[in-house]
Amino acid sequence: MRILILGGSVFLGRAFVTEALARGHQVTTFNRGASGPDQPGVRALRGDRGNEQDLAQLTAAATGPDGPWDLVIDTSGQQPHAVSRTATLLREHAARYLFVSSVHAFADWPAEAIDEHAPLHECPADSPPDQPFSTALKAGCERAVVEQFGDRSIILNCGLLMGPYENVGRLPWWLERIARGGRVLAPGRPDLPIQLIDARDFAVFGLDLAERGAAGSYVTTALPGSSTYGQLLAACVAATGSSAELVWVPDRKLVAAGIEEWTELPLWAAEFTGDGRPSGIWQADSRKAVAAGLRCRPLEESVRDTWAWIQQRGPRDRPYLQGTEVLGIDPEKERRILDGA
């Protein structure tokens, strides 16, 4: 296949490029060249999807030797206006459009369990450009793709990703913290079920669907209950060879201490909502994707491979960020909570 990847240099986009090249596909990437180097073997186009002149490159490329494309893979769409513009431009130059959305697109998540039939946020495809960040934006992006490609569209509602080259740093932060050893604040309870998916498995599934000519929406993450928080942190201990001691602190104490969910302790959120109801964070129903061929490698393999990549990458020169928030708990704050555990 001839594949155009919007993005393609960082984490999930990189995983798609690696898998597509391994399958012998011809890959063109379109990105700004600011986030990371392109992989050998791709035809790299430079541009910002928000710039009309840059987008014109895609039209030119579509009529050249690289196009038209059998598949567009959009890993970078965040603004409905930009996605709509891109999908409109590519509608006559691509057979199929795979858009990486998120479970955030569902209005009921994370308060409720969701599947593909859950309602989306009320965000139109023609939302004005440069909207402030909102979880609803992915819903508008989905609508933009479906409006232009209809039954030629594949929507993958992504769960939480892990694996080598992770650029947010949730799993890398835990690996580096546990590698330092000592008493480690472990949030909640070790038997809490979680759902994580390796970016490489996500890419394999997406390409499998496209090669079969599939369409539709798929909640794409591991099955509920496939692993636990205890397994995750134990795998970090094993991968790093650390002598760290995991000290499990209940949610209620973490909430009382003002711990910020997702950021101060990455991948942690309170198990219950503010009104005491169980959260649906780890209850995304991915049975449709599994029935369509999604296979998730053991969590321990992803953790080992991520640690091996961290060692190869070397020390960081900047903190991990989720949006504008720095990931990780202050060591002194962690110590105070552990002393009171």
Residues 257 and 187 sit within 8 Å (Cβ to Cβ): no
Domain 2-158 grouped into CATH 3.40.50.720: yes
pLDDT in tens, 139-150: 999 999 999 999
List the Cα angle 268/327/337 in 5-degree steps: 60
Instruction: Please report the pLDDT score of residue 317 as a whole number.
Output: 85
Question: pLDDT band at 276, cuts 50/70/90?
Answer: low
Token digits of residue 13: 């986009």
Whole-number Å distance between alpha carbons of 146 and 151: 7
Q: How confident is the model at residue 279, as a pLDDT? A: 81
Taking the C-alpha atoms of residue 341 and residue 336, their distance in angstroms, rounded to an integer, is 9
Beta carbons of 100 and 126 less than 8 angstroms apart:
no
- Can you name the CATH fold of 167-194+227-281+299-339? UDP-galactose 4-epimerase; domain 1 (3.90.25)
Q: Delimit the CATH 3.90.25 region(s) of the chain.
A: 167-194+227-281+299-339
Residues of the chain with CATH 3.40.50.720: 2-158
- Looking at per-residue confidence, does 163 or 36 come out higher? 163
Backbone dihedral region for residue 190 (phi beyond 0: left; psi -120 to 50: alpha; all else: beta): alpha
Q: What's the chain's length in residues?
A: 341
186-227 pLDDT tens trace: 999 999 999 999 999 999 999 999 999 999 999 999 999 999
Q: What contacts 285, CB < 8 A, 6 or more positions away?
A: 113, 114, 115, 219, 224
